[in-house]
Structures are given as structure tokens and as C-alpha cells.
Amino acid sequence: MQIFVTGGTGVLGRRVVPLLVACGHDVNGLARTDAKARQLAAQGADPVVASMFDAEAMQKAVAGHDAVLNLATNIPSGLAAGTRRGWRTNDRIRAEGSKIMTEAARASGVGRFVQESIAFPYADAGDEWIDEQREIQHHWGTRAASMAEEHTVRFAADAGQGVVLRFAMFVADDSAHQSMFAAATNRGWFPLPGPVDSYFSMVDIGDAATAVVSALDAPSGIYNVAEDQPATRGELSAAMAGTVGRDRLRRIPDRLVALGGAPARAMMRSLRIANRQLRDTTSWRPEVPCVAAQWPRYG
């Protein structure tokens, strides 16, 4: 297949591109700078230096491709995640960028569009499994994700196959979130707010990448991408404590969480994400069924 990828140098994209090349696909990747172009070339893709916000350039760039994988994101971490300014670039990518990319794909006759999205906006469900039909409760930091999903659903209705992948939190040794987790645990803190018996779903970054490749064969729809066996915060805290030689980690006081506003409060939700729909419709299977059980591998 001829495949066009945005976000090919991000935490997810730099795993996806080499997988696509290894599968025999011809891959073009969008690059904002010459440095990013060189990185894409090293991964085996042919780079296209342009801006995803240039509608005319994107229509020319995706012409002749069988699929577009829109993996471009800019999700903030740390203190920036609690500010509207911190989410501004990601909001533009999700809202304006995804609209431009789906319209370019539609105008150029691309048959398949795959959109990266997030599982964080699901409503708290306690210990119940959360499938793709569960209630969504957005706050201002995640609302743009719904716009990206809507653009993809509209593409599927008008032009071809549209697939949305709602990812649980990536776990990768080279991600900003992982660095934040490591810094907190080294200081004796458990970095995630919320009750100890609540669930927190994650996905190994390698499994996230293979899910993107599997989406090339998936029917149109919305799919959760998560580990098979999410752990509770208590179980995850114990696993993290063990990696730094501690018996236990201190919890973030609820009053401090409240200061973080809506994004911080949303992080307290119990999200036991079910991945059955993607497993049932594709050959995808996570190699890391429970991230907490293998926490030492992430450093």
C-alpha cells in the first residue's frame, strides 16, 4: 500500500513507520522541518516537508495514497497539562489539522483514514469494563479529540473507510509521561491521583504501534486500544514502588489534585478499558497483556 503518515517522528509514529516499511508498504511522512525529514528518512520513509495546516499542500501530498494515518499530536505533560495554554497546539492539531487531513484525503480519493484519539474522556465506570459505546465526558483539554473523531466518522460516511483508535495511556521509555513517572517515584510519590481500588488503563507503545498497522485492515469504526488486564492504582503503585526499592509510595493529596482543575480531576477516573472490539475484528493482540506486571522493563 501507499501510505501517508503524519506524526511519524512522535513517540508512536517512530515505531509505526518502521513497522509499515517492514511490512512492504511505501511510506511518505509529513515533516515540519528538515531535521524531522532526516529522521523520517532514517526510518525508511520518504519525507514531505510541509505544514499540515496548509490545505492545498496536504491535498497534493496525500494524492495517490491508499491510506492516511493521522498520528500527529502534542499532548502536554506535567504542569502544562493543567493549563489551557498547554493544550493549545494539540487542540489545533485535533480540530483544524484533522479536518484539513480528512478533506485532503477525500478530495484526493484516498480510501482509508486512520485517526489517533484517546480513551481518557470516558466517564468513570468503577470496576466495570468500558467498551466503545460507553459515555464520554470531555473537559476543555480533551474536547478537541471528539472533533477529530467526528471528522473521521464523516470521512467514512462520505469517502471510504474511517478508523478511530482510542488509545489508553502510552507507556514508553522515551515519553515525557514516563520521565514524569520516574521522577515522581524516585522521590517516593505515586504520580497518579485517584482511589487505590480504581482502574488505570495503559498500553505498551509497541502494542500501540502494531494496533495502528492492524487498523489498515479494520472495518470503519471506533476502537479502544489498551492492555488486556488493566491494573488498579493500588496494584500499579506497588509495582512502581518495587522498581525504586520502596515498600510503598505516597499518594497525592486530593486537595492538591483539585488545584489542577478539570484535567487533574479527570485523571482520577476509574477506567477499565476493554479492547475486545479491536481483537475481534483484526489480528491484533498485545504482547504486554498487563503493563503493571512488567513495570521494571520500563525503567
Q: Is the pLDDT of residue 128 over 90?
A: yes
pLDDT classification of 84: cutoffs 50, 70, 90: confident
C-alpha cell at 184: 515522581
Task: Return the closest-CA partner of residue 11 out of 145, 179, 163.
Answer: 179
On average, the pLDDT of the chain sits at: 94
Q: What is the pLDDT of residues 186-201, one digit of tens each?
A: 999 999 999 999 999 9
How far, in Å, CA of 181 to CA of 6, rounded? 27
76 pLDDT exceeds 80? no
The mean pLDDT value for 52-72 works out to 97
Percent of the chain with pLDDT over 90: 81
pTM recorded for the entire structure: 0.95
Return d(Cα 6, Cα 121) in angstroms, integer.
Answer: 23
| Residue spans per domain, the chain | 2-298
The whole-number pLDDT of residue 82 equals 64
Q: Is the pLDDT of residue 78 over 70?
A: no
- Strands 112-118, 129-130: pairing is unpaired
Average pLDDT over residues 67-73: 96
* Architecture of domain 2-298 in this structure: 3-Layer(aba) Sandwich (3.40)
What is the residue whose three cell numbers read 479491536?
A: 278
Highest mean pLDDT among 76-90, 159-173, 247-261: 159-173
Does residue 224 surpass a pLDDT of 70? yes
Please state, in angstroms and rounded to a whole number, the distance separating the CA atoms of residues 287 and 298.
14
Query: Please, which pLDDT band fits residue 299 given cuts at 50, 70 and 90?
Result: low
- Angle, to 10 degrees, between the axis of helix 233-243 and the axis of helix 176-186? 70
